[in-house]
Amino acid sequence: MRDRLILLPGWGLGVSPLEPLAAALSGLDEHLRVEIEPLPVLLSAALDDWLDELDASLPDNVWLGGWSLGGMLASELAARRGDRCCGLVTLGSNVSFVSRSDWPSAMPAVTFEAFLNNFRDAPNTTLKRFCLLCSQGASEPRSLAGLLLGGAPKAEPDTLLAGLDLLGKLDTRRALQAFSGPQLHLFAGLDALVPVQAASDVLTLLPDVEVGLIEQACHAFLLEAPHELAAAIQAFLHELGDD
């Protein structure tokens, strides 16, 4: 089903941020079926538990993609499925959200730990702050943050905390190197959560994949530049279809 793309959302904000992109993609290609699937609701922060849930609920032989945490999970699921996955598209997804000694182009570990602790103490306030970070760099950041927060589903803090724990532990480098299917990784030039250097580092790690940069855009570029993202994704899919 090379004409079917499943998109997974990022942490805490639900499916709403992906809807403008899905609509833009459908407008560009009437034959492409774009579906947004919510992330699993789990109390576990174990990657295998999340992948088991996704593998059981998502159809085989489709394109997998996602935004931020969703893109990281799509990467891991693509590697698990191998030939049962048509290809991979990630949006604002670092290979490791938290910096490591061998991957410095990410959020400092001390910053992430502080965010995690703040969420434990004051989840609602911290989620609002997260929306502001997602929209930092946009032309109208407060308006964009309000859209993100307004579309966020009500969720139990414990399940959100599990997702945040998972986000802090994930390192998708091995999965991306193992997956031999086509890959497109799109980044935002003004992203306050994923340093722009990560785009170059991903290309160094994976010289045979496609890496793109939307320069004047923030982490929430799904809402800020859906048509630009859709055009990049559609061109990538179309090019592969011609091969």
Question: Active site includes 68?
Answer: yes
Intra-chain end-to-end CA distance of the chain, in Å = 16
Q: Which of 96, 135, 171, 191 is catalytic?
A: 191
- Give the global pTM: 0.97
Nearest one of 3, 66, 70 to 34, comparing CA atoms: 3
Among residues 96, 105, 185, 219, the one annotated as catalytic is 219
Range of the domain at 120: 4-242
Give the per-residue pLDDT at 197. 98
Confidence at 243, pLDDT banded by 50, 70, 90: very low
Q: How confident is the model over 159-169, as a mean pLDDT?
A: 97
> Rounded to an integer, what distance in angstroms lies between the CA atom of residue 176 and that of residue 173?
5
CA-wise closest residue to 78 among 103, 51, 53, 97: 51
Domain count, the chain: 1
Catalytic site residue from 68, 93, 99, 135: 68
**Least confident residue range of 67-71, 197-201, 222-226, 235-239:** 235-239
* Amino acid 110: pLDDT: 97
pLDDT, residue 241, reads 64
Does residue 219 carry a catalytic annotation? Answer: yes
Q: Is 238 labeled as catalytic in the residue annotation? A: no
Tokens of 73: 């999970």
CATH of the domain at 222: 3.40.50.1820
Whole-angstrom distance, CA of residue 21 vs CA of residue 32: 13
How many Cα atoms sit within 13 Å of 50 on the Cβ side? Answer: 27
